[in-house]
C-alpha cells in the first residue's frame, strides 16, 4: 500500500468510526477552551474536565480571571500538574486578553502563540475547534500513530504536522485531529497496540511481524 493509499484508507475508516467526533474538553466558549487546552498539557482530558468546573466558578472569562490571585488559581488546578507554571500563564494571558484584545480570544494563530503558556499545538486546537479555521494540532499521540501508519518518518512533531497536512484534504483536518486521538485511545494506545494489533495498523502493514519502534517528539 502506497502512502497516499494508506492515507485515503485511514481517512475513510476514521470518518466511518467517528463521523462527528466531539471535543473531549468541556468548555463553553473560546476562552474556556483555551484555558482547558492549556491545562491538558501533560494531563488527561478527564482530569481537566474534573478540575475546570471549580475553576469556572472562580472565573470563566478574562475580565474576572485577570483579577484573581495566582495562588487561588493554582489551588484549584493543582491536580492537573505543573500548576505553578499553568496558574501564572492563565492569569497573565487573561490580563493580556483584557489589555490587548478587548477581552476576547483572538482568532489569529500568531496572536495566540504570543500568549503565555500557549504553544503551537494549543493555538492550533483553539483555531480549529473554537473558530473552525483549518488546523492540524499534532500532539505526541498523533505523532506516534502517524509513524505506526507510515504517514511520516517521525523526526519531530513539526514535521509530522507538515506531512499530515500534505496527505489529507484541508477540510478534513479539524475533525481528523480528533478522530486520530479517539482511535488511538480506543484501539491503538501505547500499550494496546505496537503497530501490529489494531485494524488500521494491520491493514496498512499486513506483513509487519515486529513491533513498530516510534521516535519520540
CA–CA distances in Å: residue 192 to residues 37, 119, 196: 25, 29, 10
139 is catalytic: yes
Residue with cell 498523533: 142
- 72 classed as catalytic: no
- Which three cell numbers, joined as nine digits, stand for 199? 485494524
Residue 10 CB-half CA count within 13 A: 34
Angle value at C-alpha 129, between 123 and 130, nearest 5 degrees: 80
Options 72, 121, 166, 212, the catalytic residue: 121
3-class secondary structure, 135 = coil
Out of 139, 170, 212, 216, which one is annotated catalytic?
A: 139
The number of beta carbons lying within 10 Å of the beta carbon of residue 22 is 8
Q: In which residue are the cell numbers 502506497 written? A: 2
User: Please, are residues 146 and 217 in contact by the beta-carbon 8 Å criterion?
Assistant: no
Q: Give the residue numbers annotated as catalytic, written as ranges.
A: 121, 139
Amino acid at each position: 500500500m502506497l502512502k497516499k493509499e494508506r492515507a485515503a484508507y485511514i481517512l475513510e475508516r476514521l470518518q466511518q468510526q467517528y463521523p462527528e467526533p466531539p471535543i473531549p474538553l468541556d468548555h463553553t466558549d473560546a476562552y474556556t477552551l483555551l484555558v482547558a487546552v492549556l491545562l491538558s498539557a501533560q494531563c488527561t482530558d478527564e482530569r481537566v474536565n474534573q478540575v475546570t468546573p471549580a475553576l469556572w466558578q472562580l472565573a470563566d472569562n478574562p475580565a474576572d480571571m485577570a483579577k484573581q490571585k495566582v495562588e487561588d488559581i493554582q489551588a484549584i488546578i493543582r491536580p492537573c500538574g505543573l500548576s505553578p507554571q499553568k496558574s501564572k500563564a492563565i492569569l497573565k494571558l487573561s490580563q493580556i486578553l483584557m489589555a490587548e484584545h478587548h477581552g476576547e480570544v483572538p482568532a489569529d494563530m500568531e496572536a495566540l502563540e504570543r500568549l503565555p503558556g500557549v504553544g503551537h499545538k494549543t493555538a492550533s486546537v483553539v483555531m480549529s475547534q473554537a473558530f473552525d479555521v483549518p488546523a492540524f494540532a499534532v500532539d505526541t499521540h498523533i505523532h506516534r500513530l502517524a509513524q505506526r501508519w507510515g504517514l511520516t518518518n517521525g523526526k519531530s512533531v513539526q514535521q509530522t504536522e507538515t506531512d499530515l497536512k500534505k496527505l489529507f484534504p484541508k477540510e478534513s483536518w479539524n475533525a481528523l485531529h480528533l478522530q486520530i486521538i479517539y482511535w488511538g485511545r480506543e484501539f491503538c494506545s501505547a500499550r494496546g497496540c505496537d503497530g501490529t494489533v489494531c485494524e488500521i495498523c494491520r491493514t496498512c502493514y499486513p506483513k509487519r511481524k515486529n513491533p513498530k519502534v516510534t521516535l519520540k517528539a
